[in-house]
Amino acid sequence: MTQPAQSLTASFRRSMRDFDPLLWNALTQDAPPFMRHEWLDLLERSGAVSLQNGWMPLHCAVSAGDALVAAAPLYLKGHGLGEFVYDQLWAGLAARVNQPYYPKLLAASPFTPVAGYRFLSLPGMERNGLIRGMLGAMERLARENGFTGVHALFLDDAFADVLEAQGLPLWEHQGFLWENENYRDFQDFLERFRAGQRKNIRRERQRLLDSGVRVEIVPAGQAPAPWFRLMHRYYDATNDKFGEFGCKYLPQAFFDGLADPALHDFLVFSAAFLPGDPEPVGLALLAHGGGGLYGRYWGAREEVPFLHFELCYYAPIEWAIERGLAFFDPGMGGEHKPRRGFASRITRSAHRFLDPVMAGLFEVNIAQVNRLTREYADDLASMARFKERPR
């Protein structure tokens, strides 16, 4: 179907409960699972996303008559926490020139630094006009209510290109991605490395095996119920290690909610066991969908050499190869990732400041900021231990 943009009506809704889950999910197609109704709704129901926490839902809904044909997760933000783009740079600049930076409209999946955000729509919709209309509705909402602008984070590449063509400057961020080059198995993947690093990865995996640790990937639907609460405990402990730089945004209620069978189709655990102990000594929670695998949370009861690499990198890569998944996004950070098969890459966000002073400062400085980011990404890429590709 091709729906003319002029016959569509945009409105804003205060909760995911205002949407029919089936109608919302019909728009997600190949989007990451973090765009699905179940995930976004759980963030709200658990209290992770709430006005008290500085996240007020204002989801955009586009209707043709009574039919929902497009939508976008959207939030009013009074701070930059939980976004993972660290916009203190621009907030500080706004303060120096005596301009407000908050409140702002944020198009994103909360607490989820995973590339793939887009405005959702039914198949066959004319995308460019639809995106222009939805963006225009968001800007009107911002102007009418004194919000400072519209910001869209961790964008799908094609969506980022459209926003840039429609006049939104793009801010670049460094990330990591493993890509499946039609590997037959994990051994075939190891052949991608130079001999020294190939030997190092084998040694790391063997050392963990020799210590008696067993690792397996368990679909969420087959995981014992206590694992979801244990995952929260490990998540908290991991974030506690980083002190004030920890990212402890998700409460116990969120992890309890992950036990809902409605989410099990796209969640798996990577679990590690010590001999004779039925409770996992370490857990990583991963999600899959849209042809890829995503690492989200991890933690352990005690320090075990090489456990993190196995739980969060090697075992998930092996699982992804077995299932023919195209890519694996392991999460943010970690200069050890390039040496273990993850390419340093660029993700993008788009920013529309309504104040002309801030818009001008952003556009004047963003090229230099992006150049520094690309240099850093290139430095990380040089750490990879891959063999030269045949010409």
pLDDT at residue 335, rounded to an integer = 83
Q: What is the mean pLDDT of residues 74-85?
A: 95
Average pLDDT over residues 44-52: 97
E-strand stretches of 160-313 = 170-179, 214-219, 267-273, 282-289, 292-300
| pLDDT band, residue 390 (cuts 50/70/90) | very low
Residue 276 identity: G
- What's the angle, vertex CA 251, arms to CA 247 and CA 255, rounded to 5? 105
**How large is the average pLDDT for residues 41-59?**
97
Query: What are the residue ranges spanned by the domains of the chain?
Result: 5-175+345-381, 181-325
Same fold across 5-175+345-381 and 181-325: yes
The torsion defined by the Cα of 134, 137, 142 and 143, in degrees rounded to 10, comes to: 140
- The CATH code belonging to domain 181-325 is 3.40.630.30
Cβ atoms of 316 and 166 within 8 Å: the answer is no
What does each C-alpha distance from 378 to 104, 174, 338, 373, 382 come to in angstroms?
Answer: 32, 9, 11, 9, 6
The DSSP code for 5 is G
3-state SS, residue 292: strand
- For tokens 């939980």, name the residue: 82
pTM over 0.85? The answer is yes
What dotted CATH number matches 5-175+345-381? 3.40.630.30
Burial class (CB within 10 angstroms; exposed 0-12, middle 13-18, buried 19+) of 275? exposed
Q: Which residue has the tokens 């926003």?
A: 163
In the structure encoding, which two tokens stand for residue 173, read together?
């961020």
Question: What is the token pair recorded at 155?
Answer: 């964008």
User: How many CB atoms are located within 10 Å of the residue 22 CB?
Assistant: 8
Per-residue pLDDT, averaged over 222-242, amounts to: 95
Q: How far is CA 49 from CA 28, 108, 113, 129, in A?
A: 21, 12, 15, 30
Q: How far apart are the two ends of the chain, measured CA to CA in Å? A: 44
Q: Are the C-beta atoms of 218 and 269 separated by less than 8 Å?
A: yes
Model pLDDT, residue 389: 54
> How many Å apart are CA 241 and CA 36, to the nearest integer?
31
pLDDT in tens, 234-284: 999 999 988 777 789 999 999 999 999 999 999 999 999 999 999 999 999
Average pLDDT score over residue span 115-140: 96
The identity of residue 352, as a single letter, is R
Q: How far apart are CA 380 and CA 376, in angstroms?
A: 6
How much is the average pLDDT of 59-84?
96
Segment holding 237, helix H or strand E: helix 226-240
Specify burial of residue 368 (Cβ count, 10 A radius: 0-12, 13-18, 19+). Answer: exposed
pLDDT at position 241, please?
Answer: 86
Surface-to-core class of residue 289, CB atoms within 10 Å of its CB (0-12 exposed, 13-18 middle, 19+ buried): buried
Average pLDDT, the chain: 94
Q: What is the pLDDT of residues 357-383, one digit of tens each?
A: 999 999 999 999 999 999 999 999 998
pLDDT reading at 285 higher than 50: yes
Calculate mean pLDDT across residues 54-65: 96
pLDDT band per the 50, 70, 90 thresholds, residue 38: very high
Largest CA distance in the chain: 65
Over the stretch 152-185, which tens digit does the pLDDT of each residue have? 999 999 999 999 999 999 999 999 999 999 999 9
